[in-house]
Amino acid sequence: MYDIPVIPAQPRQNLCNRIGGGVFWLQSGLAAFSGALLALAFPPLELGMLAWVALVPLLLAPVPMTLGRRIWVGYLFGAVHFIISLWWLNTIGFCAGVLLGLICAFFPMAWYLLVSSLMRRMPGDDPAMAPNTRHPWDLSGFRQCLWMLAAAAAWVALEWVRSWFFTGFPWNQLGVSQWSLRSLLLLTTITGVYGISFLVVAVNIALAISWARFGRLFVVQPGRSAGLLSWPMAVAMLLVLPVFILIVTQKVPTLPDMTLRAGTIQGCLPQCRMWTQEQYDESLRVYSVLTREVASAGKPNLIVWPETAIPASFDDPAYAAMRERVFSRMDIPLLAGAIDRRPAVRDPRPDAADDWLEFNSAILLDGNGKRLQSYDKTHRVPFGEYTPFAKQLPWLERLIGMGRGLTPGREFTVFNLPNNVRGGVMICYEDAFPGIAREFTRRGADILVTLTNDSWYAESAGSRQHLLHAVFRAAENNRPLLRAGNNSDTCLILPDGRITSLVLDKRNGNRFIRAWTVLEVPVWRNQPLTWYAKHGDVFARACAGLAAACLLWIFFRVWRTRRAMLDKVAPPPK
């Protein structure tokens, strides 16, 4: 007779493990599906509500057993999301959207690695459950809540790092997808856009855990409840409580102290690297005609031209002559975006050549054409306004660069606009960076202004995505924001985030048109600073601290586990 070994019964695993079985294609498919859902929350489709459930398929997928597969799943999720949402960048060539998407995918990959490692290392309630098969719904309610908060904080931390790492790219942060929910925008006055990102991730995790508990109704484990409402869902509901408090305590908006009438020109000129003389003459003609029209019909206090409205230096003779002809009889100030050439520090040697610097600037002229103030763009676009490592890699500048290296500005100039209105002017991409708008507000700006030129991206989703970031700059600082675009999305954004007076063709809703409009910008004097304007990214930094603490804890658990295994293999001598 042979003794037949008795194989101990294995604990029942949750529904997701029973179905998934660790199949690699299932993990990859759910990761790609989550990435696609998240991309659809942003323009062009702009299905913002999908952001609240986009992460659920990824979270329900069986966690891969090996580190390499976890890296792949996290990277695939991020790559699908960013390549789809940044596809519009491919219009400038070089497969720019694909390349940038592949780079940005490392941030979601890092998030997935962190949260999956954190979950695998947390002590579970069932001693028989192997750590490799553990999911968040195998933990107690308290530990589930801790995991949810840590995962949401890790997402915010990586968004914050992405906003400054290697010059920064704070584009399409998760909270931006919720721009139309004005009640949530109140939260940005304290946390910035990061507070909304935190809420969205927390709700995704709570929904995933609740869905898994629904599966447990069919695979009930002894001693475990099978209720639909999870503790993380209850905590996620409590996280929305501050929003309701802000709504209840919000002061009734007062009437503005005055209104600034800004005549804004949208020239809708195509962009190219090398301008011909015919194209240059056409730009002078377009802005001459539209400026005369808005001055005579709209009676504005100020005329606003977008970023680099005319493709020439501001001191170009033909450009200067056009301004003289147009503004000589108007007596209306002009705020224009332009390339401004200035001499660098002269070399005292007599044989030294003149050295000129070029700036992307906003320039304010009075009614007589006299230059009053200027602001030089402080945050340049890599490979568009300068080429990183151009001195070390000159071939890179010839291949990818736009043929020029603009000099960054160093001062945040607050403009003294007509009627004693103080304005902080951002140039194009700068309104994606919360810190720049905050700095202008802290220096006393009554209104914010964006001069932009999105014509490089034709009629793609890029201009719409760009516009939605400006909504958050207005809401975070509780200031109206005037936006002047070259080819689209000229509008006024009110302090509560509403987009008004958008320039479009009323017959078909087309935003990419040549037109002028007069924006009635409300101005409130001596508006108090919001908490976010005063203190900045305190919330994001706190999330980064929590994520760093979780990372250290994971390293400690790995080290302790490996040391325990070594002690068992080779116990210390007595």
Report the b/e string of 280-302 with b at 16+ CB within 10 A: beebbebbeebbbebbeebebbb
Residue 7 lies in a domain: no
Q: Which long-range contacts (CB under 8 A, 24 or more apart) does 267-271 make?
A: 267/305, 267/306, 267/309, 267/486, 267/487, 267/514, 268/455, 268/486, 268/487, 268/488, 268/512, 268/513, 268/514, 268/515, 269/311, 269/455, 269/486, 269/487, 270/455, 271/453, 271/455, 271/456
Closest among 215, 214, 207, 205 to 15, alpha carbons compared = 215
Residue 269 shares a structural domain with residue 233? no
SS3 338: strand
Is 8 part of any domain? no
Q: Is residue 5 part of a domain?
A: no
Q: Do residues 340 and 222 share a domain?
A: no
Query: What are the residues whose beta carbons fall under 8 Å from the beta carbon of 294, sequence distance 6 or more?
Result: 263, 264, 265, 300, 303, 516, 517, 518
Q: Which two tokens stand for residue 35?
A: 């990435």
1 assigned to some structural domain: no
Q: Which of 9, 14, 10 is nearest to 219 (CA)?
A: 14
Task: Please tell me the distance from the alpha carbon of residue 207 to that of residue 51, in angstroms, as a whole number.
Answer: 12
Answer whether 489's CB lies under 8 Å from 463's CB. yes
Per the document, the length of the chain is 574
| pTM, to two decimals | 0.89
Using CA atoms, how far apart are residues 459 and 485, in angstroms rounded to an integer?
Answer: 13
Per-residue DSSP letter, 512 = -
Q: What are phi and psi of 494, to 5 degrees?
A: -80, 165
Facing residues of 426 across strands?
450
What per-residue confidence (pLDDT) applies to 254? 83
Structural tokens at position 198: 């935190």
Considering the domain architecture, whether residues 231 and 98 belong to the same structural domain is answered as yes
Cα(92)–Cα(84) distance, rounded to whole angstroms? 16
My answer on whether 472 and 485 are in the same domain is yes
- Extract the tokens encoding 414: 């607050």
| Cβ burial, residue 25 (10 Å; 0-12/13-18/19+) | exposed
Q: Give residue 275's pLDDT.
A: 77
Peptide bond between residue 62 and the one before it cis (omega within 30 degrees of 0): no
CA dihedral 457, 88, 435, 472 (to 10 degrees): 100
Long-range contacts of 549-554, Cβ-Cβ distance < 8 Å, separation of 24 or more:
550/114, 550/118, 550/150, 550/153, 550/154, 551/114, 553/118, 553/121, 554/114, 554/117, 554/118, 554/121
Please report whether residue 332 resides in a domain: yes
- Between helix 231-239 and helix 241-249 the angle, nearest 10°, is 20
Question: Closest Cα to residue 44, out of 84, 78, 83?
Answer: 84
User: Given this model, what pLDDT does residue 139 score?
Assistant: 67
> Residue 415 has which token pair?
């403009």
C-beta of residue 335 within 8 angstroms of C-beta of residue 416: no
CATH number, domain containing residue 377: 3.60.110.10
Distance CA 226, CA 215 (A): 9
State the pLDDT at residue 573.
61
Question: What is each CA distance from 49 to 23, 52, 97, 180, 445, in whole angstroms?
Answer: 29, 6, 24, 10, 34
DSSP class of 372: E
Question: Alpha-carbon distance 42 to 32, whole Å?
Answer: 16
Tally of structural domains, the chain? 2
The reply to whether 202 and 299 lie within a common domain is no
Mean pLDDT by 10 residues, the chain (574 residues): 45 45 81 98 96 95 89 97 96 88 97 88 53 58 85 97 94 97 94 96 90 55 50 76 77 86 94 81 94 92 94 92 89 94 67 73 93 95 81 69 77 95 96 97 97 91 96 97 96 96 93 95 94 96 96 86 74 60
* Structure tokens belonging to residue 130: 């192997």
Q: Which domain holds residue 19?
A: 15-250+539-568
Asked if 263 and 208 sit in the same domain, the reply is no
Say if residue 221 is in the same domain as residue 276: no
* 166 and 138 together in one domain: yes
**Range 317-320 contact pairs with CB under 8 angstroms and sequence separation of 24 or more:** 318/280, 318/284, 319/284
Say whether both 333 and 383 belong to one domain.
Answer: yes
Residue 175 lies in a domain: yes
Q: Burial code of 225-253, b = ≥16 C-beta within 10 A, e = fewer?
A: eeeeebbbbebbeebeeebeebeeeeeee
Question: Does residue 573 fall inside a structural domain?
Answer: no
Give me 33's structure tokens: 């599906």
Question: What pLDDT is stored for residue 514 in this prediction?
Answer: 95
Give the separation between CA 446 and CA 28, rounded to whole angstroms.
50
Residue 2 lies in a domain: no
Q: Are residues 531 and 385 in the same domain?
A: yes
Residue 183 corresponds to which amino acid? S
User: Which of 262, 278, 225 has its CA nearest to residue 523?
Assistant: 262
Q: Which residue has the tokens 């194009």?
A: 428
Cβ–Cβ < 8 Å for 247, 496: no
Most distant CA atoms of the chain, gap in Å: 114
Interatomic CA distance for residues 225 and 212, integer angstroms: 12
Residues 149 and 202 in one domain: yes
Same domain, 397 and 462: yes
